[in-house]
Structure 1
Amino acid sequence: MNDSALITVGLPIALAIIMFGLGLSLTVDDFRRVAKSPRAVVIALGLQVLILPLIAFGLVKAFDLDPLLAVGVMLLAASPGGTTANLFSHLFRGDVALNVSLTAINSVLAAVSIPVITNLAINHFEAEGELGLQVGKVLQVIAIVLVPVGIGMLVRRRSPEFAGSADRPVRIFSITTLVAVSVGALLGERENLADYVEQVGAVTSIFCLASLTLGYAGARLFQLDDKQAIACAMEVGIHNTTVALTIALSVLDNTEVAIPSAVYSVLMYVFATAFGFAITRNRRAAPATPS
């Protein structure tokens, strides 16, 4: 199989497997849980779906990015929170149940938000090449993002034992795929890599820190508790970059558009870890409130 076939066929199949694995970890109760804490869910999704793309747009305009890189940053902003957010939330004592609910809803919303935001970015920045997400490509996004999640949920409902045993292998596969795709995207543009990193390194770093801060500070501003604020920070700050990379490489067929997500996929783990420790340290250092 040549590189082109590997990207256009192999990568979407790999993402479908990852999203299937996500479905194996979800139940209908995860969606029902939203009814028990709708305020936290609405705040987190509002920050992620509405405010985050505005921040990304402001950054790409401020740094005057190349149109294709600008589209890549907007695609990154539109990508949903990653399942790794659940792990980071657990490590730093966040509300993991809220993360699971947000991940479930995000998986559905992404099928709509990604095509809408990406198309708006392509039109605004007048990116060259055949990059538009036409109806067929929108359906492709839905097929590789939403359908596997639904199948995974059905499998879990019918066979909880299989879902439990498949969780670890799929997680390992997910991480391996993310690393491989990120490295491949970077190596694919190795001749221009230094220039790209110079152009998007600062933007993606600021965007990552802004995402984490927005998730935490926004939640606290709306008077969510600390555990919910940590969950929001991780959900908003840790993106499913595998989705963004797959769409850039296989749907849009453009490596340059994938560069911001490839760079972000490395930075987000570093910044999320540092951010989590900072929040935990501040929480532990805070004086006890007298009862």
Structure 2
Amino acid sequence: MSIAELLSNIFLPLSLAIIMLGMGMTLTPIDFTRLVKYPKAVLIGLINQLVLLPLIGFSLAIAFNLSPIMAVGLIILATCPGGPTSNLITQVCKGNIALSVTLTAITSFVSIVTIPFILAFALNYFGTDEATTIKLPIFDTIIQIMGITVIPISIGMLIRKYKIEFALRMKKPMRIASTVIFILVFIAVILANFDILTTAMREVGLVTLLLNIITMGLGYLTARLFKLKLKNIISITVESGIQNGTLAFVIATSLLHNVEMGIPTGAYAIWMFITGGILMWQLGKRPEVDSE
């Protein structure tokens, strides 16, 4: 097993699971019932993620006249849900973690249905020679979501419920540990995939940067337009711009058997780690604020 495979198949999922455990220790059931009572933030986040993001991806692919392979690679990325990394960034930025986790979970399951249809259209529209029938490994995807998010968060919430003093005491150390893990993963991913990332930045660096900035900006503006509280604005902003790159790579390389289609994801990973890191640096210093 290569270093890159070791990172993506073992270290990265394990690290994210640990991060999710720490997040679970900050959550209580009331965090989620509050989202049912105030669904506006959830609806805004879902529309940004499931509707506006793919539309922006299509628009940029057409505007930059990308080659069919790069265009479809960009659409693959734009159709993917937010990944666990968005939950980590939201936590460090002191956003609404429950909202972030809820959006990640819902979009992850809904995308099982939406991704095949959107990609089938993209493959046909951009005129690639790939087969237009795409089937996601539904069971594996569900297991991935549960293993990295639902199960560790549930364990963390149980710890919070039965060992509340321990959970509160570990809040700051876990946040620091999450930041350190984030930085280490970022450096490791760059070193392990340096050749691919160099090519990616040269071919689609600008368009992926625009995708990241536009989607984050749109998330921020729509949340502000509907007068959401700061914690929810942070969550929607992050969820709009941080995608599940791991899933995008799986679709490109394992389902469509085209490594080149994974190039936009490689470039986007650089930008989302940078912009996510900037948000963590700036917003992580802010005092805690009330959520909606």
Matched, 1:133 2:141: no
Q: Distance in 2 between matches of 1:82 and 1:231?
A: 13
Paired residue for 1:288?
Answer: none
Q: Distance in 2 between matches of 1:185 and 1:109?
A: 30
CA-CA distance at 1:90 after TM superposition = 4.2
Instruction: Tell me whether 270-279 or 34-43 shows the greater mean CA deviation.
Output: 270-279
TM-score (norm 2): 0.72
Alignment of 1:191-202 (within 5 A): 193=199, 196-202=200-206
Q: Distance in 1 between matches of 2:143 and 2:258?
A: 20
Q: Distance in 2 between matches of 1:68 and 1:43?
A: 31
Q: Distance in 2 between matches of 1:103 and 1:248?
A: 21
Could you tell me which of 242, 245, 251 is aligned with 1:238?
A: 242
Q: Distance in 2 between matches of 1:178 and 1:243?
A: 17
Alignment of 1:179-194 (within 5 A): 184=192, 187-188=195-196, 193=199
Task: Check conservation: 1:99, 1:231, Cα contact below 8 A.
Answer: yes
Paired residue for 2:290?
Answer: none
Paired residue for 1:118?
Answer: 119
Q: Distance in 2 between matches of 1:170 and 1:94?
A: 15
Instruction: Tell me whether 79-88 or 150-159 shows the greater mean CA deviation.
Output: 150-159
Q: Distance in 1 between matches of 2:15 and 2:250?
A: 12
Return closer, same or farther for 1:14/1:246 CA change in 2, 3 Å cut-off.
Answer: farther
Q: Distance in 1 between matches of 2:89 and 2:13?
A: 23
Task: Check conservation: 1:216, 1:232, Cα contact below 8 A.
Answer: yes
Q: Distance in 2 between matches of 1:220 and 1:123?
A: 37
Paired residue for 1:34?
Answer: 35
Matched, 1:269 2:269: no
Counterpart residue identity of residue 36, structure 1: K
Matched positions, count: 272
Counterpart residue identity of residue 40, structure 2: R
CA-CA distance at 1:142 after TM superposition = 3.9
CA-CA distance at 1:22 after TM superposition = 7.0
CA-CA distance at 1:23 after TM superposition = 6.4
Paired residue for 1:250?
Answer: 254
Q: Distance in 2 between matches of 1:181 and 1:254?
A: 20
RMSD between superposed Cα atoms in Å: 4.1
Instruction: Tell me whether 148-157 or 81-90 shows the greater mean CA deviation.
Output: 148-157
CA-CA distance at 1:107 after TM superposition = 3.3
Counterpart residue identity of residue 219, structure 2: G
Return closer, same or farther for 1:2/1:131 CA change in 2, 3 Å cut-off.
Answer: farther
Counterpart residue identity of residue 39, structure 1: K
Q: Deviations over 1:37-83 (max 9, x none)?
A: 21101111111111111011000011111112111111111222233
CA-CA distance at 1:132 after TM superposition = 4.1
Q: Deviations over 1:87-136 (max 9, x none)?
A: 4334444333322332333333343333333333223223234574236x
CA-CA distance at 1:35 after TM superposition = 0.4
CA-CA distance at 1:228 after TM superposition = 1.8
Alignment of 1:269-288 (within 5 A): 269-274=273-278
CA-CA distance at 1:86 after TM superposition = 3.4
The percentage of aligned residue pairs carrying the same residue is 33
Partner of 1:258, secondary structure, is: helix
Counterpart residue identity of residue 216, structure 1: Y
Paired residue for 1:289?
Answer: none
Paired residue for 1:83?
Answer: 84
CA-CA distance at 1:213 after TM superposition = 0.5
Task: Check conservation: 1:19, 1:148, Cα contact below 8 A.
Answer: yes
Q: Any stretches of 5+ residues in structure 1 without a counterpart?
A: 284-291
Q: Distance in 2 between matches of 1:198 and 1:237?
A: 21
Counterpart residue identity of residue 134, structure 1: K
Return closer, same or farther for 1:157/1:218 CA change in 2, 3 Å cut-off.
Answer: closer
TM-score (norm 1): 0.72
Counterpart residue identity of residue 94, structure 1: G
Q: Any stretches of 5+ residues in structure 2 without a counterpart?
A: 287-292
Return closer, same or farther for 1:134/1:238 CA change in 2, 3 Å cut-off.
Answer: closer
Could you tell me which of 208, 212, 220 is aligned with 1:208?
A: 212
Partner of 1:80, secondary structure, is: coil
Q: Distance in 2 between matches of 1:244 and 1:198?
A: 19
Task: Check conservation: 2:45, 2:219, Cα contact below 8 A.
Answer: yes
